[in-house]
Amino acid sequence: MGCGCLPSPPVLDCLFQTIRQTQPQGNAIQTLTAPLLLRSFRCTTLVVPRILSLVPPDLTPRGQGAAAVPRGDRRHVPAFPLGLPPVGRAAPSTAAGSGAMRRAAARGSQLWELLALLCWAAAAPAPPSAAPLLCNVSLDSPAEERWLPVLRHFDPAFLRAAVARVIDERVPKWVHEVIRPIAAELEFLMPQPFAGEMLGLCRALGISLGDGVLLNFAYESTAFCTSIVAQDDKGNIYHGRNLDYDFVDILSKITIDVQFIKNRQIAYQGTTFLGYVGLWTGQSPHKFTISGDERAGGRWWENAIAAFLNRNYPVSWLVRDTLSRAEDFQSAVLRLAGIPIIAEVYYIVGGVSPKEGMVITRNRRGPADLWPLDPLGGAWFRVETNYDHWTTPPPFDDRSNTVYTTVMSAALPDKYQTWIRTDT
Protein backbone atom coordinates (compact mmCIF):
# COMPACT_ATOMS: atom_id res chain seq x y z
CA MET A 1 0.00 0.00 0.00
CA GLY A 2 1.19 3.71 -0.39
CA CYS A 3 0.40 7.23 0.72
CA GLY A 4 -3.35 7.24 1.05
CA CYS A 5 -3.80 10.54 -0.78
CA LEU A 6 -1.18 10.26 -3.51
CA PRO A 7 -0.14 8.09 -6.43
CA SER A 8 2.89 5.97 -5.59
CA PRO A 9 6.04 6.50 -7.72
CA PRO A 10 5.56 3.84 -10.43
CA VAL A 11 2.31 5.32 -11.70
CA LEU A 12 3.90 8.80 -11.96
CA ASP A 13 6.93 7.50 -13.82
CA CYS A 14 4.76 5.68 -16.33
CA LEU A 15 2.44 8.64 -16.85
CA PHE A 16 5.46 10.81 -17.64
CA GLN A 17 6.63 8.23 -20.17
CA THR A 18 3.32 8.00 -22.02
CA ILE A 19 2.89 11.76 -22.21
CA ARG A 20 6.40 12.38 -23.54
CA GLN A 21 5.86 9.71 -26.19
CA THR A 22 2.71 11.46 -27.39
CA GLN A 23 4.05 15.04 -27.07
CA PRO A 24 7.85 14.80 -27.40
CA GLN A 25 8.45 18.54 -27.83
CA GLY A 26 6.41 19.86 -24.93
CA ASN A 27 8.15 21.84 -22.20
CA ALA A 28 9.39 19.92 -19.21
CA ILE A 29 8.06 21.63 -16.11
CA GLN A 30 6.80 18.81 -13.91
CA THR A 31 3.75 20.63 -12.57
CA LEU A 32 2.06 17.34 -11.81
CA THR A 33 4.80 16.39 -9.38
CA ALA A 34 4.88 19.61 -7.36
CA PRO A 35 1.61 19.12 -5.44
CA LEU A 36 2.22 15.39 -5.27
CA LEU A 37 5.82 15.47 -4.03
CA LEU A 38 5.09 18.13 -1.45
CA ARG A 39 2.78 15.66 0.27
CA SER A 40 4.58 12.35 -0.34
CA PHE A 41 7.92 11.59 1.27
CA ARG A 42 7.90 8.23 -0.55
CA CYS A 43 8.59 10.01 -3.82
CA THR A 44 11.96 11.26 -2.58
CA THR A 45 14.20 8.41 -3.66
CA LEU A 46 12.17 7.12 -6.59
CA VAL A 47 10.71 10.14 -8.37
CA VAL A 48 13.06 13.05 -7.68
CA PRO A 49 16.04 11.57 -9.59
CA ARG A 50 13.73 11.14 -12.56
CA ILE A 51 12.47 14.72 -12.34
CA LEU A 52 16.02 16.03 -12.18
CA SER A 53 16.79 14.12 -15.36
CA LEU A 54 13.90 15.89 -17.06
CA VAL A 55 15.03 19.47 -16.54
CA PRO A 56 17.61 19.75 -19.37
CA PRO A 57 15.06 19.76 -22.23
CA ASP A 58 13.68 23.01 -20.83
CA LEU A 59 17.14 24.59 -20.95
CA THR A 60 17.61 23.80 -24.63
CA PRO A 61 16.16 25.80 -27.55
CA ARG A 62 12.55 25.11 -28.46
CA GLY A 63 12.29 22.21 -30.89
CA GLN A 64 15.16 20.22 -29.42
CA GLY A 65 13.05 18.12 -27.10
CA ALA A 66 13.64 14.40 -26.74
CA ALA A 67 12.57 12.20 -29.61
CA ALA A 68 9.62 9.87 -29.16
CA VAL A 69 10.57 6.74 -27.28
CA PRO A 70 9.92 3.37 -28.93
CA ARG A 71 7.08 1.45 -27.28
CA GLY A 72 9.42 -1.30 -26.17
CA ASP A 73 11.73 1.01 -24.21
CA ARG A 74 10.30 0.56 -20.72
CA ARG A 75 13.14 2.32 -18.90
CA HIS A 76 12.95 5.84 -20.34
CA VAL A 77 11.27 8.31 -18.00
CA PRO A 78 9.88 11.31 -19.89
CA ALA A 79 8.75 14.79 -19.04
CA PHE A 80 5.18 15.91 -18.41
CA PRO A 81 4.50 18.76 -20.89
CA LEU A 82 1.68 20.98 -19.72
CA GLY A 83 2.36 24.05 -21.83
CA LEU A 84 3.40 26.26 -18.90
CA PRO A 85 6.33 28.66 -19.29
CA PRO A 86 9.66 26.81 -18.93
CA VAL A 87 11.77 27.33 -15.84
CA GLY A 88 13.81 30.52 -16.20
CA ARG A 89 11.89 31.68 -19.31
CA ALA A 90 9.23 34.36 -19.32
CA ALA A 91 5.77 33.69 -20.67
CA PRO A 92 4.59 35.69 -23.69
CA SER A 93 3.35 39.11 -22.69
CA THR A 94 -0.39 39.67 -23.01
CA ALA A 95 -2.79 42.23 -21.59
CA ALA A 96 -4.19 39.68 -19.15
CA GLY A 97 -1.04 37.66 -18.82
CA SER A 98 0.69 39.21 -15.82
CA GLY A 99 -1.24 37.12 -13.31
CA ALA A 100 -0.59 33.95 -15.28
CA MET A 101 3.10 34.89 -15.50
CA ARG A 102 3.33 35.36 -11.75
CA ARG A 103 1.54 32.07 -11.09
CA ALA A 104 3.77 30.23 -13.56
CA ALA A 105 6.90 31.79 -12.06
CA ALA A 106 5.72 30.81 -8.60
CA ARG A 107 5.15 27.23 -9.73
CA GLY A 108 8.58 27.10 -11.30
CA SER A 109 10.17 28.60 -8.19
CA GLN A 110 8.34 26.12 -5.95
CA LEU A 111 9.48 23.22 -8.09
CA TRP A 112 13.11 24.27 -7.98
CA GLU A 113 12.94 24.87 -4.22
CA LEU A 114 11.34 21.48 -3.81
CA LEU A 115 14.04 19.78 -5.87
CA ALA A 116 16.77 21.58 -3.93
CA LEU A 117 15.19 20.40 -0.68
CA LEU A 118 14.95 16.79 -1.82
CA CYS A 119 18.18 16.43 -3.77
CA TRP A 120 19.99 14.99 -0.76
CA ALA A 121 18.05 11.75 -1.16
CA ALA A 122 19.88 8.72 -2.56
CA ALA A 123 19.01 8.03 -6.17
CA ALA A 124 17.32 4.65 -5.77
CA PRO A 125 16.78 2.75 -9.02
CA ALA A 126 13.27 2.12 -10.26
CA PRO A 127 11.89 -1.31 -9.32
CA PRO A 128 12.54 -3.96 -11.97
CA SER A 129 9.59 -4.39 -14.30
CA ALA A 130 8.49 -6.38 -17.32
CA ALA A 131 5.68 -6.27 -19.84
CA PRO A 132 2.92 -8.84 -19.30
CA LEU A 133 1.86 -11.44 -21.84
CA LEU A 134 -0.44 -9.86 -24.43
CA CYS A 135 -3.39 -12.14 -25.21
CA ASN A 136 -6.38 -12.03 -27.53
CA VAL A 137 -9.75 -13.29 -26.31
CA SER A 138 -12.36 -13.67 -29.03
CA LEU A 139 -15.83 -12.47 -28.09
CA ASP A 140 -17.06 -14.26 -31.19
CA SER A 141 -16.17 -17.64 -29.67
CA PRO A 142 -18.47 -19.45 -27.21
CA ALA A 143 -17.95 -18.10 -23.71
CA GLU A 144 -16.76 -21.46 -22.35
CA GLU A 145 -13.99 -21.64 -24.97
CA ARG A 146 -12.68 -18.06 -25.05
CA TRP A 147 -9.89 -18.42 -22.52
CA LEU A 148 -8.59 -21.82 -23.62
CA PRO A 149 -5.94 -20.40 -26.01
CA VAL A 150 -4.63 -18.21 -23.17
CA LEU A 151 -4.43 -21.13 -20.74
CA ARG A 152 -1.98 -22.91 -23.05
CA HIS A 153 0.69 -20.38 -22.07
CA PHE A 154 0.57 -21.37 -18.38
CA ASP A 155 1.32 -24.42 -16.26
CA PRO A 156 -2.04 -25.87 -15.05
CA ALA A 157 -0.45 -27.27 -11.88
CA PHE A 158 0.90 -23.83 -10.95
CA LEU A 159 -2.51 -22.25 -11.61
CA ARG A 160 -4.32 -24.83 -9.47
CA ALA A 161 -1.84 -24.30 -6.63
CA ALA A 162 -2.29 -20.53 -6.93
CA VAL A 163 -6.07 -20.86 -6.76
CA ALA A 164 -5.85 -23.07 -3.68
CA ARG A 165 -3.48 -20.71 -1.87
CA VAL A 166 -5.44 -17.53 -2.57
CA ILE A 167 -8.73 -19.13 -1.52
CA ASP A 168 -7.26 -20.73 1.58
CA GLU A 169 -5.58 -17.56 2.83
CA ARG A 170 -8.12 -14.95 1.75
CA VAL A 171 -11.64 -16.42 1.84
CA PRO A 172 -13.30 -16.93 5.26
CA LYS A 173 -14.23 -20.53 6.01
CA TRP A 174 -17.90 -19.76 6.38
CA VAL A 175 -17.96 -18.43 2.80
CA HIS A 176 -16.67 -21.82 1.60
CA GLU A 177 -19.57 -23.44 3.40
CA VAL A 178 -22.08 -21.09 1.77
CA ILE A 179 -20.76 -21.22 -1.80
CA ARG A 180 -19.55 -24.78 -2.33
CA PRO A 181 -22.86 -26.56 -1.56
CA ILE A 182 -24.67 -24.43 -4.15
CA ALA A 183 -21.93 -24.63 -6.77
CA ALA A 184 -24.21 -26.40 -9.22
CA GLU A 185 -26.66 -23.48 -9.10
CA LEU A 186 -24.06 -20.73 -9.37
CA GLU A 187 -24.05 -20.88 -13.15
CA PHE A 188 -27.68 -19.73 -13.14
CA LEU A 189 -27.06 -16.91 -10.66
CA MET A 190 -24.31 -15.27 -12.74
CA PRO A 191 -24.88 -13.15 -15.85
CA GLN A 192 -23.35 -14.06 -19.18
CA PRO A 193 -20.70 -14.05 -20.45
CA PHE A 194 -19.12 -14.33 -17.00
CA ALA A 195 -20.86 -17.58 -16.08
CA GLY A 196 -19.81 -19.31 -19.28
CA GLU A 197 -16.25 -18.02 -19.18
CA MET A 198 -15.77 -19.03 -15.56
CA LEU A 199 -17.25 -22.46 -16.19
CA GLY A 200 -14.89 -23.01 -19.13
CA LEU A 201 -11.85 -21.93 -17.10
CA CYS A 202 -12.79 -24.16 -14.17
CA ARG A 203 -13.30 -27.21 -16.37
CA ALA A 204 -9.98 -26.65 -18.13
CA LEU A 205 -8.13 -26.32 -14.82
CA GLY A 206 -9.95 -29.19 -13.14
CA ILE A 207 -11.37 -27.11 -10.28
CA SER A 208 -14.96 -26.66 -9.14
CA LEU A 209 -17.11 -23.75 -10.24
CA GLY A 210 -17.49 -22.92 -6.55
CA ASP A 211 -13.72 -22.45 -6.25
CA GLY A 212 -13.74 -20.32 -9.39
CA VAL A 213 -16.34 -18.01 -7.84
CA LEU A 214 -14.43 -17.88 -4.54
CA LEU A 215 -11.25 -16.96 -6.40
CA ASN A 216 -12.99 -14.07 -8.13
CA PHE A 217 -14.46 -12.91 -4.82
CA ALA A 218 -11.01 -13.03 -3.21
CA TYR A 219 -9.67 -10.64 -5.85
CA GLU A 220 -12.70 -8.37 -5.44
CA SER A 221 -12.12 -8.01 -1.69
CA THR A 222 -8.47 -6.96 -1.61
CA ALA A 223 -7.78 -4.46 -4.41
CA PHE A 224 -5.67 -1.73 -2.81
CA CYS A 225 -4.90 0.74 -5.56
CA THR A 226 -3.89 4.20 -6.68
CA SER A 227 -5.49 5.86 -9.71
CA ILE A 228 -4.97 9.26 -11.28
CA VAL A 229 -6.77 10.95 -14.16
CA ALA A 230 -5.35 14.20 -15.52
CA GLN A 231 -5.79 16.75 -18.31
CA ASP A 232 -2.97 18.68 -19.95
CA ASP A 233 -3.20 22.22 -21.33
CA LYS A 234 -4.27 20.92 -24.74
CA GLY A 235 -7.25 19.06 -23.29
CA ASN A 236 -5.70 15.59 -23.60
CA ILE A 237 -6.81 13.12 -20.93
CA TYR A 238 -4.36 10.65 -19.34
CA HIS A 239 -5.14 7.88 -16.90
CA GLY A 240 -2.73 5.88 -14.76
CA ARG A 241 -3.00 3.33 -12.01
CA ASN A 242 -1.06 1.11 -9.64
CA LEU A 243 -2.77 -2.08 -8.53
CA ASP A 244 -1.66 -3.38 -5.14
CA TYR A 245 -2.52 -6.86 -3.86
CA ASP A 246 -1.28 -9.48 -1.52
CA PHE A 247 0.20 -12.56 -3.22
CA VAL A 248 2.49 -10.45 -5.40
CA ASP A 249 4.72 -13.51 -5.93
CA ILE A 250 1.80 -15.34 -7.57
CA LEU A 251 -0.05 -12.53 -9.29
CA SER A 252 3.00 -11.07 -10.99
CA LYS A 253 3.32 -14.40 -12.83
CA ILE A 254 -0.29 -14.50 -14.07
CA THR A 255 -0.89 -10.82 -14.90
CA ILE A 256 -1.89 -10.46 -18.55
CA ASP A 257 -2.93 -7.72 -20.96
CA VAL A 258 -6.03 -8.83 -22.84
CA GLN A 259 -7.45 -7.54 -26.11
CA PHE A 260 -11.08 -8.55 -26.43
CA ILE A 261 -11.72 -9.08 -30.13
CA LYS A 262 -15.10 -8.81 -31.86
CA ASN A 263 -15.52 -8.95 -35.63
CA ARG A 264 -11.72 -8.90 -35.94
CA GLN A 265 -11.49 -5.54 -34.17
CA ILE A 266 -10.40 -4.65 -30.62
CA ALA A 267 -13.70 -4.01 -28.85
CA TYR A 268 -11.94 -3.16 -25.57
CA GLN A 269 -8.82 -4.14 -23.67
CA GLY A 270 -7.66 -4.45 -20.12
CA THR A 271 -5.27 -5.93 -17.59
CA THR A 272 -6.25 -8.83 -15.35
CA PHE A 273 -5.09 -12.04 -13.66
CA LEU A 274 -5.62 -15.31 -15.48
CA GLY A 275 -8.68 -16.99 -14.00
CA TYR A 276 -10.29 -13.67 -13.09
CA VAL A 277 -13.02 -12.79 -15.59
CA GLY A 278 -13.52 -9.21 -14.40
CA LEU A 279 -11.37 -6.16 -15.07
CA TRP A 280 -10.06 -3.55 -12.63
CA THR A 281 -8.28 -1.71 -15.45
CA GLY A 282 -9.38 -1.21 -19.05
CA GLN A 283 -10.09 1.04 -21.99
CA SER A 284 -12.59 1.25 -24.80
CA PRO A 285 -10.58 2.66 -27.73
CA HIS A 286 -11.43 6.26 -28.62
CA LYS A 287 -14.17 6.29 -25.97
CA PHE A 288 -13.07 6.06 -22.33
CA THR A 289 -10.79 4.42 -19.75
CA ILE A 290 -11.70 2.91 -16.37
CA SER A 291 -9.87 1.81 -13.25
CA GLY A 292 -11.39 0.55 -10.01
CA ASP A 293 -10.11 0.99 -6.44
CA GLU A 294 -11.53 -0.85 -3.45
CA ARG A 295 -13.58 1.15 -0.94
CA ALA A 296 -13.86 -0.30 2.55
CA GLY A 297 -17.49 -0.63 3.55
CA GLY A 298 -17.49 -2.91 6.57
CA ARG A 299 -18.69 -6.52 6.71
CA TRP A 300 -17.44 -6.97 3.14
CA TRP A 301 -17.98 -10.70 2.81
CA GLU A 302 -21.43 -10.79 4.38
CA ASN A 303 -22.74 -7.96 2.24
CA ALA A 304 -21.02 -9.13 -0.94
CA ILE A 305 -22.36 -12.68 -0.73
CA ALA A 306 -25.87 -11.45 -0.01
CA ALA A 307 -25.73 -9.00 -2.91
CA PHE A 308 -24.29 -11.63 -5.25
CA LEU A 309 -27.08 -14.05 -4.41
CA ASN A 310 -29.42 -11.15 -5.19
CA ARG A 311 -27.74 -11.03 -8.65
CA ASN A 312 -25.89 -7.75 -8.21
CA TYR A 313 -22.74 -7.33 -10.28
CA PRO A 314 -19.27 -7.86 -8.81
CA VAL A 315 -17.52 -4.51 -9.15
CA SER A 316 -14.96 -5.69 -11.72
CA TRP A 317 -17.66 -7.30 -13.84
CA LEU A 318 -19.40 -3.95 -14.12
CA VAL A 319 -16.13 -2.43 -15.38
CA ARG A 320 -15.91 -5.02 -18.14
CA ASP A 321 -19.62 -4.81 -18.93
CA THR A 322 -19.34 -1.03 -19.23
CA LEU A 323 -16.34 -1.32 -21.54
CA SER A 324 -18.41 -3.64 -23.68
CA ARG A 325 -21.64 -1.63 -23.77
CA ALA A 326 -21.09 2.10 -23.17
CA GLU A 327 -20.64 4.30 -26.23
CA ASP A 328 -18.90 7.28 -24.64
CA PHE A 329 -17.63 8.83 -21.42
CA GLN A 330 -21.03 10.08 -20.27
CA SER A 331 -22.80 6.76 -20.75
CA ALA A 332 -19.90 4.98 -19.02
CA VAL A 333 -20.24 7.27 -15.99
CA LEU A 334 -24.00 6.68 -15.85
CA ARG A 335 -23.58 2.89 -15.91
CA LEU A 336 -20.77 2.84 -13.37
CA ALA A 337 -22.66 5.17 -11.04
CA GLY A 338 -26.08 3.60 -11.20
CA ILE A 339 -26.02 -0.20 -11.58
CA PRO A 340 -26.22 -2.14 -8.26
CA ILE A 341 -22.99 -3.91 -7.30
CA ILE A 342 -21.90 -6.30 -4.55
CA ALA A 343 -19.42 -4.00 -2.78
CA GLU A 344 -18.46 -0.36 -2.39
CA VAL A 345 -15.78 0.89 -4.78
CA TYR A 346 -14.20 3.90 -6.45
CA TYR A 347 -14.48 4.02 -10.23
CA ILE A 348 -12.05 6.39 -11.96
CA VAL A 349 -13.03 7.27 -15.53
CA GLY A 350 -11.24 9.19 -18.28
CA GLY A 351 -12.62 10.24 -21.66
CA VAL A 352 -11.31 11.69 -24.90
CA SER A 353 -12.42 15.33 -24.61
CA PRO A 354 -11.49 18.15 -22.24
CA LYS A 355 -12.97 17.87 -18.72
CA GLU A 356 -13.81 14.18 -19.25
CA GLY A 357 -12.42 12.85 -15.99
CA MET A 358 -14.34 11.61 -12.97
CA VAL A 359 -13.94 9.77 -9.66
CA ILE A 360 -17.16 7.97 -8.76
CA THR A 361 -17.50 6.97 -5.11
CA ARG A 362 -19.93 4.07 -5.02
CA ASN A 363 -22.23 2.52 -2.49
CA ARG A 364 -23.74 -0.82 -3.40
CA ARG A 365 -26.97 0.73 -4.68
CA GLY A 366 -25.72 3.93 -6.26
CA PRO A 367 -23.29 6.86 -6.15
CA ALA A 368 -22.13 8.42 -2.89
CA ASP A 369 -20.17 11.17 -4.63
CA LEU A 370 -19.10 12.35 -8.10
CA TRP A 371 -15.75 14.19 -8.25
CA PRO A 372 -15.07 15.56 -11.75
CA LEU A 373 -12.07 17.24 -13.27
CA ASP A 374 -12.31 21.02 -13.14
CA PRO A 375 -9.32 22.30 -15.13
CA LEU A 376 -10.68 25.85 -15.41
CA GLY A 377 -10.82 25.94 -11.62
CA GLY A 378 -7.30 24.57 -11.28
CA ALA A 379 -8.31 20.95 -10.62
CA TRP A 380 -6.63 19.45 -13.69
CA PHE A 381 -6.04 16.08 -12.02
CA ARG A 382 -7.82 13.83 -9.56
CA VAL A 383 -6.10 11.19 -7.43
CA GLU A 384 -7.93 8.32 -5.72
CA THR A 385 -6.62 5.49 -3.58
CA ASN A 386 -8.87 3.61 -1.15
CA TYR A 387 -10.25 6.45 0.93
CA ASP A 388 -13.01 9.00 0.41
CA HIS A 389 -11.38 12.11 -1.03
CA TRP A 390 -13.08 14.35 1.53
CA THR A 391 -11.46 12.48 4.44
CA THR A 392 -7.89 12.23 5.76
CA PRO A 393 -6.10 8.97 4.90
CA PRO A 394 -4.60 7.01 7.80
CA PRO A 395 -0.86 7.47 8.43
CA PHE A 396 -0.16 3.71 8.47
CA ASP A 397 -0.90 3.20 4.77
CA ASP A 398 2.51 2.73 3.12
CA ARG A 399 1.31 0.92 -0.04
CA SER A 400 4.32 -1.07 -1.21
CA ASN A 401 2.91 -4.33 -2.67
CA THR A 402 2.28 -3.14 -6.22
CA VAL A 403 1.62 -5.93 -8.71
CA TYR A 404 1.36 -3.82 -11.85
CA THR A 405 1.17 -0.28 -13.18
CA THR A 406 -0.87 0.70 -16.23
CA VAL A 407 -1.03 3.96 -18.19
CA MET A 408 -3.60 4.63 -20.87
CA SER A 409 -5.37 7.30 -22.88
CA ALA A 410 -8.56 6.43 -24.72
CA ALA A 411 -7.74 8.96 -27.45
CA LEU A 412 -4.41 7.15 -28.01
CA PRO A 413 -5.38 3.49 -27.47
CA ASP A 414 -2.14 2.08 -28.90
CA LYS A 415 -0.29 3.71 -25.98
CA TYR A 416 -1.92 1.34 -23.47
CA GLN A 417 0.96 -0.12 -21.46
CA THR A 418 1.35 -2.25 -18.36
CA TRP A 419 4.48 -2.91 -16.28
CA ILE A 420 4.64 -5.88 -13.87
CA ARG A 421 6.81 -5.64 -10.78
CA THR A 422 9.48 -8.34 -11.00
CA ASP A 423 11.50 -7.73 -7.83
CA THR A 424 9.54 -10.26 -5.77
Decide: 368 and 339 in contact? Cβ < 8 Å.
no
Enter the pTM of the model: 0.74
pLDDT at position 335, please? 97
Cis peptide leading into 193, omega within 30 of 0? yes
Flag whether pLDDT at 111 surpasses 50: no
pLDDT digits (tens, 9 = 90+) for 245-289: 888 889 999 999 999 999 999 999 999 999 999 999 999 999 999
Listed residue (297, 294, 117, 173) closest to 223, CA to CA = 294
d(CA 169, CA 313): 24
pLDDT at position 246, please? 80
Strand partners, 54: none
SS3 369: strand
Question: In angstroms, what CA-CA distances link 311 with 72, 191, 196, 344?
Answer: 42, 8, 16, 15
> What is the separation of C-alpha 232 from the centre of its chain, rounded to a whole number of angstroms?
19
Decide: 340 and 312 in contact? Cβ < 8 Å.
yes
Other Cβ atoms closer than 10 A to 39: 11
Residues 6+ positions from 10 with CB-CB distance below 8 Å = 46, 126, 127, 129, 242, 402, 405, 419, 421
- The more confidently predicted of residues 74 and 227 is 227
Q: Which of 41-55, 176-190, 341-355, 379-393 has maximum average pLDDT?
A: 341-355
pLDDT at position 401, please? 75
Q: Sort strands 367-372 and 288-294 into parallel, antiparallel or unpaired.
A: unpaired
pLDDT digits (tens, 9 = 90+) for 355-381: 999 999 999 899 999 999 999 999 999
Listed residue (281, 279, 287, 380) closest to 329, CA to CA = 287
pLDDT at position 218, please? 82
pLDDT at position 100, please? 44
39, containing H or E segment: none
pLDDT digits (tens, 9 = 90+) for 134-173: 999 999 999 999 999 999 999 999 999 999 999 898 888 8
Beta strand residue intervals within 332-421, DSSP E: 345-350, 357-362, 367-372, 381-384, 402-408, 417-421
- pLDDT mean across residues, the chain: 74
* pLDDT classification of 214: cutoffs 50, 70, 90: confident
- The 10 Å CB-count burial string (b at 16+, else e) for 50-79 is bbeebbebbeeeeeebbeebeeeeeeebbb
* pLDDT classification of 197: cutoffs 50, 70, 90: very high
Decide: 286 and 299 in contact? Cβ < 8 Å.
no
* pLDDT classification of 308: cutoffs 50, 70, 90: confident
Decide: 227 and 207 in contact? Cβ < 8 Å.
no
* CB neighbour class for 286 (10 Å; exposed up to 12, middle 13-18, buried from 19): exposed
- The more confidently predicted of residues 237 and 66 is 237
Listed residue (233, 248, 227) closest to 290, CA to CA = 227
Task: Find the mean pLDDT for residues 99-112.
Answer: 41
5, containing H or E segment: none
pLDDT at position 105, please? 41
d(CA 135, CA 244): 22
User: Does residue 225 carry a catalytic annotation?
Assistant: yes
- The more confidently predicted of residues 88 and 305 is 305
- The more confidently predicted of residues 409 and 2 is 409
Q: For residue 313, give the DSSP letter.
A: B
> What is the separation of C-alpha 371 from the centre of its chain, rounded to a whole number of angstroms?
17
Q: Sort strands 133-138 and 255-262 into parallel, antiparallel or unpaired.
A: parallel
d(CA 138, CA 130): 25
CA torsion sign for 414, 420, 421, 423 is negative
pLDDT at position 221, please? 74
pLDDT at position 135, please? 96
pLDDT digits (tens, 9 = 90+) for 120-135: 333 344 556 789 999 9
pLDDT at position 18, please? 53
Least confident span in 87-101, 137-151, 321-335: 87-101
* pLDDT classification of 423: cutoffs 50, 70, 90: low
Which one is catalytic: 3, 135, 202, 225? 225
Task: Find the mean pLDDT for residues 88-93.
Answer: 34
d(CA 362, CA 339): 10
CA torsion sign for 424, 271, 299, 297 is positive
pLDDT digits (tens, 9 = 90+) for 24-40: 433 332 334 333 333 33
pLDDT at position 83, please? 30
